Amino acid sequence: MSKQPPYADRVALVPDHVLDTINAALRQARILHPPYRSLMEAEAALREELDELTAAIREGYQSNSPTTASASMTLEAGHLAATAIRFLIDCPCPVNLPDPSDPN
């Protein structure tokens, strides 16, 4: 049995507002786009979303409006996370994902 760090019971896995952002992006993506038909298509979508987040971050460096820059980065980070989740849902992965309820 692995020993938990002393602060493990105080660490939230994902705050609700972050899950809300990701779920909204995931819902929109699944309405607008069919499931990925191949790993190559999924990879292209992931790269596109990463590029968009990178662009939003770079614009944030140069922005005179931190609120606008932050909103854009949050939106794009939500899109990237939703795309990664769609990858897990749509693409047959040869490796089984770990069961989060399994303590080992």
Domain layout of the chain by residue ranges = 47-91
Q: Note the pTM of the prediction, 2 decimals.
A: 0.75
Span 10-34, pLDDT tens digits:
666 788 889 999 999 999 999 999 9
The answer to whether the beta carbons of residues 26 and 85 sit under 8 Å apart is yes
Check residues 102 and 22 and name the one with the higher pLDDT.
22
